[in-house]
Copies of this chain bind each other. A is one copy, B any other.
Amino acid sequence: MKIQQVLLSLEELPKEWYNVIPDLPEPLPPEMDPPERPSRIELSRRITLKPLINQSAQKDRWIDIPEDIRDLWVKVGRPRPLSRATKLERFLKTPAEIYYKREDLSPTGSFKINTAVAQVYYAIREGAERLVSSTAAGQWGAAIAGACGLGGVSCTIYFVRFACETRPYRLIQMLMSGADVRRSPSDKTEVGRRYLKENPNHPGSDPITNSEALEDAIKSVERGEEAAIARGGATNYVVLHQSVIGLEVKKQLEMVEKVPDIMIGCVGSGSNFLGFISPFVKDRLDGKTTTRFIAVQTEAAPSMLKGEYRYDYGDAGKLTPLVKSYTLGIDYKFGHSYAEGLRQHQVSPILGILRKHGVVEALSYEDEAAFEAAKTFYQVEGVLVCPESAYAVKAAVDLALKAKETGKEEVIVVNISGSGFLDLGNYGTTLYKL
């Protein structure tokens, strides 16, 4: 039988995370405090679980993964397969070998569960009884709600009110996990009440949900409650947790004796992409490989292509510290895209440095082109990817066609960050005008 899937045994599940920060060509620029008071750095530290603060500042390359986190990963189906796109290769008539990592097999629908269960583990260890978070499209909300359900930790999620209407399945998924889901703006926070006063039917927005979650966490901690914030985007510790993706891929490629020529992932703030490439960066910088790392963005939010490299706020509520990276500006008006996870104004500082030094290349597409590629992928490979991953698939197809022109037998590896089952409506609208 031709190799179609590379599977790892449970014993081969990584026992250590890989921290890419020591490999970076220059030191990470530190967080800065904006003029607003109280200190945003202080606020952030007060609501973040201590082990996570420590992980963000780690200088070691290898960091032990607690046994209980590995146990939770097994529960949610890790290790995950690396599949070879044999039928896509045949369809494209390309000499390239295309592999794809199956993060879509997550029970909550995306790779976000990898860090969600880790954060829940640390919450339990630190005695936090409640995690507070926010979600715009719902993938992160589903992951943190699911992880809290597994761990028996209370979970409060601020979910954009408009999305509760347009994405009811995500809402129901979070409710089934036992989460307390609050339509944002809500009457539970000052900032929420302010927006509701303005407009009782306010549709909400990503920045408002962020601010509500931050306010909720800050006030709870001030009241002496055991609460903390949970984050899904590409903060340093999230990137560390997501390195499990790349570590599995590395082992799987070694099993079939391959070195990647090209690694591709979609990028909003960068956590799936960085987790995927982390263990491969050093070999490239050391000249041992010539692996190209390709970050794929939506033209609706091309931060790495059209953004500036500078300090900026992480959230529009200006409650978080300033970080330095490529940014479109906190007030950027995004173009249309159903790949909600890619509509971010700023990438992680780690990714910023890799981009600045030319280690990471960037590409962008529009929904139509990406979704057509996803359709082809579903037909020939049988895997329905989420709109975000559709962008990565599109780039893989284009690069495989390029390999056909040049005749190069390149090894292309692409990370499928999530499943498209709950996004079929968006595919229907874009592809079939349904």
Q: Name the B residues within 8 Å of A375 (CB-CB).
A: 176
Q: Which of A19-27, A101-109, A183-191, A224-232 contacts B (4 or more CB under 8 A)?
A: A101-109
Interface presence of A178 (CB below 8 A): yes
Q: Is the CB of A71 within 8 A of B4?
A: yes
Binding site for B on A (CB under 8 A): 1-2, 4-5, 7, 9-10, 67, 70-71, 74-77, 81, 83, 86-87, 105, 107-109, 146, 149-150, 168-169, 171-173, 175-178, 374-375, 378-384, 419, 421-422, 424-425, 427-428, 431-432, 434
**What is the bound-complex CA distance between A60 and B381, given in angstroms?**
34
- Quick one: closest B residue to A175, CB to CB? B432
Q: Is the CB of B379 within 8 A of A176?
A: yes
- Quick one: closest B residue to A74, CB to CB? B4
Q: Is the CB of B71 within 8 A of A150?
A: no
Q: Name the B residues within 8 Å of A109 (CB-CB).
A: 421
Q: Is the CB of B77 within 8 A of A81?
A: yes
| Closest-CB distance, A139 to chain B (whole angstroms) | 12
**What is the bound-complex CA distance between A255 and B108, given in angstroms?**
28
> A168-B425, A432-B172 are known contacts. Are A177 and B379 too (CB-CB below 8 A)?
yes
Q: Is the CB of B382 within 8 A of A76?
A: yes
Q: Name the B residues within 8 Å of A87 (CB-CB).
A: 75, 150
| Closest-CB distance, A326 to chain B (whole angstroms) | 33
Q: Is the CB of A74 within 8 A of B10?
A: no
**What is the bound-complex CA distance between A419 and B7, given in angstroms?**
22
**What is the bound-complex CA distance between A434 and B252, given in angstroms?**
44
Q: Name the B residues within 8 Å of A7 (CB-CB).
A: 7, 9-10
Q: Name the B residues within 8 Å of A419 (CB-CB).
A: 421
Contact among B67, B176, B380 for A427, CB-based, below 8 A: B176
Q: Name the B residues within 8 Å of A149 (CB-CB).
A: 378-380, 382
Q: Name the B residues within 8 Å of A382 (CB-CB).
A: 75-76, 107-108, 146, 149-150
Q: Name the B residues within 8 Å of A379 (CB-CB).
A: 149-150, 176-178
| Closest-CB distance, A38 to chain B (whole angstroms) | 37
Contact among B74, B81, B169 for A425, CB-based, below 8 A: B169
Q: Name the B residues within 8 Å of A384 (CB-CB).
A: 107, 173, 176
Q: Is the CB of B5 within 8 A of A1?
A: no
**What is the bound-complex CA distance between A108 and B383, given in angstroms?**
8
**What is the bound-complex CA distance between A432 and B174, given in angstroms?**
12
**What is the bound-complex CA distance between A381 and B10, given in angstroms?**
18
| Closest-CB distance, A294 to chain B (whole angstroms) | 25
Q: Is the CB of A177 within 8 A of B425?
A: no
Q: Name the B residues within 8 Å of A146 (CB-CB).
A: 378, 382
**What is the bound-complex CA distance between A105 and B9, given in angstroms?**
18
> A150-B382, A378-B149 are known contacts. Are A424 and B70 too (CB-CB below 8 A)?
no
Q: Name the B residues within 8 Å of A374 (CB-CB).
A: 176
Q: Name the B residues within 8 Å of A172 (CB-CB).
A: 424-425, 427-428, 431-432, 434
